[in-house]
Structure 1
Amino acid sequence: MTDTIKATHATAAPPAPALPGFAYHRVPVADGVSLNVAVGGAGSPVVLLHGFPQTHLMWRHVAADLAGSHTVLCPDLRGYGDSDKPREDGPDTYSKRTMAADVVALARTLGHERFALAGHDRGALVAFRAGLDHPGAVSRLACLDVLPTLDMWEALRGTSAAVGFHLYLMAQPPGLPEALISAAPDAFFGHFLDLWARDPGAVPGDVRAAYLRACREAVPSIVADYRASAGTDVEHDAADRAAGRRLTMPVTVLQQDWGAALGYEAASLWGAWAEDLEHSTVTSGHFMAEEAPEEIARALRDLLAR
């Protein structure tokens, strides 16, 4: 990071809790949009993108591990955490294409034209889109516990789709989902923290409180992110599938074994998108970077060495 960049993007007071040993910055990535990002370590760059209902704090264990040999960037996505939350003024405000462009702009502003990228859940959808749209910038790609948006909607069907009720709720037009969630935000977001964690102790009280506080303050933008995934994101994926576009960099996918329950074979779905794929299941809950951090860090190191 150059002295000019340091001067332009002054270190902001980090939220509590924070990533120990990481410096916090606010970095402009688009008109009127800046991202909060924690930066630590030294070496080749790795960007880690969080999922729902979390912030960059979900990477606290893995980021500390990787920072021993890499420069690690952990941003809050547009609309989440301490990053800016622009008003949804059209289908592209929170499209994964827009959010992927944010990530590429963030890395470039901090001096990294090419970087490895890993994402979990919502962050994995952003990472997937970045890999398709910016193959020259993304050297390696890891996606944790998610299917590409188009495949996800095609896989959900029947009563098994009840596990994704929130996807259908937040896909509705503006107004109702925001009102319902805002009426009891801690109950709504806390439901997923409880339901999706196999090891409840993996998310300690202070981190859980930080997640709930961040989500409570971001209901409209979180809903907008999900709404985009039921509309413009599907359109982008469908256009790429029709054009035969694929991920050309080495790709690692780590998932729970949801396939048997939901009736799909995840490795083959991902294989249709990635030319160089390693797919494996992880014995943990959804929050695998917090529940099985050593396994996740090892898998990312293996990817970086491919």
Structure 2
Amino acid sequence: MAHTLANFDYQRIHVADDVSLNVATAGSGTPIVLLHGFPQTHLMWRHVAADLATDHTVICPDLRGYGDSDKPAETDGSVYAKRTMAADILALAGALGHDRFALAGHDRGALVAFRAGLDHPDKITHLAGLDVLPTLDMWEVLHGVTAAVGFHLYLMAQPPGLPEQMIAAGPDAFFGHFLDSWTDDPAAIPPGVRAAYLEACRGAVPSIVADYRASAGIDIVHDQADRAAGNRLRMPVAVLQQDWGAALGFDAAALWASWAADLQHHTVTCGHFMAEEAPDEVARALRELLGR
């Protein structure tokens, strides 16, 4: 990709049998891993990562299936399970010498972080999620015509074949729709970065669809098992969200509180891509979390 994080070092790290992740690292101090969302790459963290790297070790990978990381073919429905993707991040941090670390994710990356926190509570010191609900709650709050805002969730939940063909027929129109409609500040994603996101997505249609399809299948099974067992996030948790509840009729803070006893929930006024639209606010919230 043409765009990289300034003053960060890049490498590829093997995390699973058939997967290596592209990762950018910088700074020193207590480690924090930053996971990107859809339809983006690790570049979305460029402002926040630079801020945090002044006194933390900052690790910014492309998730499996995205950016310059490997994109294994889906086989049995588990290749893009958030449990599998979370295991990637544990392996990545371990390879970099970090047995315990803070973890922050946006959108899809926040779902990976959520699963890592539930599966590996001894490894994740602090957890932050940006503008997402846990998978199980997300499906439960979507209903009626208001669910149209999540049309892509339903499209990519379909069996293999049709979604991939439809999206591949016009990838720039499909992925560009979200980059344009989900931001309140178009200047926050400048043309060069937007072009890099679209280029990355063009080459990742099957894996992106598989990631979303997993969230309509195996990810729900895993969340349901944790809910039934009463499992909750044990570490301090911070969530930053738009006011989805006002639009769709639910209490986002209450939904998150059911999963996290030590929760700070913040409502933001920017658009979905908050790490790019309001990086100072995001960096402050992460620093506040890390201080707990």
Paired residue for 2:286?
A: 300
Amino acid at match of 1:183: A
Counterpart in the other structure of 1:42: 28
Tell me, yes or no, if structure 1 residue 242 matches structure 2 residue 236: no
Confirm or deny that 1:92 pairs with 2:78: yes
- Percent identity between the aligned chains? 75
Q: How many pairs are equivalent?
A: 292
CA distance in structure 2 between the aligned counterparts of 1:62 and 1:19, rounded to whole angstroms: 11
Q: Does 1:168 align with 2:149?
A: no
Corresponding position: 1:233 with 2:233: no
1:194 maps to which residue? 180
Q: After TM superposition, which residue ranges in structure 1, 4 or more long, deviate above 3 angstroms?
A: none
Name 2:198's counterpart in structure 1. 212
Deviations 1:136-186 (A, max 9, x none): 110000000000000000000000000000000000000000000000000
> Normalized against structure 1, the TM-score is what?
0.95
Deviation of the 1:227 alpha carbon: 0.1
Please give the alpha-carbon distance, in whole angstroms, between the structure 2 residues aligned to 1:173 and 1:207. 31
Whether 1:271 and 2:224 are equivalent positions in the alignment is: no
- Using the alignment, how far apart are the partners of 1:184 and 1:270 within structure 2? 35
Q: 1:53 aligns with which of 39, 62, 81?
A: 39
Q: Which of 83, 89, 96 is equivalent to 1:110?
A: 96
Aligned to 1:9: none
Quote the residue 2:134 is aligned against.
148
Residue 184 of structure 1 corresponds to which residue in structure 2? 170
Partners of 1:234 and 1:169 in 2: CA distance: 17
1:101 aligns with 2:87: yes
How far has the Cα of 1:91 moved from its partner? 1.1
Matched, 1:132 2:118: yes
Query: Displacement of 1:17 after TM fit?
Result: 1.0
Query: Deviations 1:168-218 (Å, cap 9, x if unpaired)?
Result: 000000000000000000000000000000000000011000000000000
Q: TM-score, normalised on structure 2? A: 1.00
Aligned residue identity for 1:200: P
Amino acid at match of 2:2: A
Q: Indicate yes or no: 2:268 matched with 1:282.
A: yes
Question: CA separation in 2, counterparts of 1:175 and 1:55?
Answer: 24
Matched letter for residue 108 of structure 1: G
Post-superposition CA distance 1:253-306 (Å, at most 9, x none): 000001111111000000000010000111100000000000000000000001
Q: Hey, what's the Cα distance between the residues in 2 that align with 1:286 and 1:260?
A: 15
Q: Distance in 2 between matches of 1:81 and 1:290?
A: 17
Is it true that 1:257 corresponds to 2:243 in the alignment? Answer: yes
- Counterpart amino acid of residue 41 in structure 1: G
Letter in 2 for 1:229: S
Name the SS for the 2:103 alignment partner: strand
Q: Secondary structure at the match of 2:288?
A: helix
- How many Å separate the matches in 1 of 2:77 and 2:205? 17
How far is 1:22 from its partner? 0.2
Q: Match for 1:171: what amino acid?
A: A
Is 1:65–2:48 an aligned residue pair?
no
In structure 2, what is the equivalent of residue 12 of structure 1? none
What is the letter of the counterpart of residue 219 of structure 1? V
Report the CA distance between 1:16 and its aligned residue. 1.6
| Aligned amino acid, residue 251 of structure 2 | E
Q: Aligned AA for 1:255?
A: Q
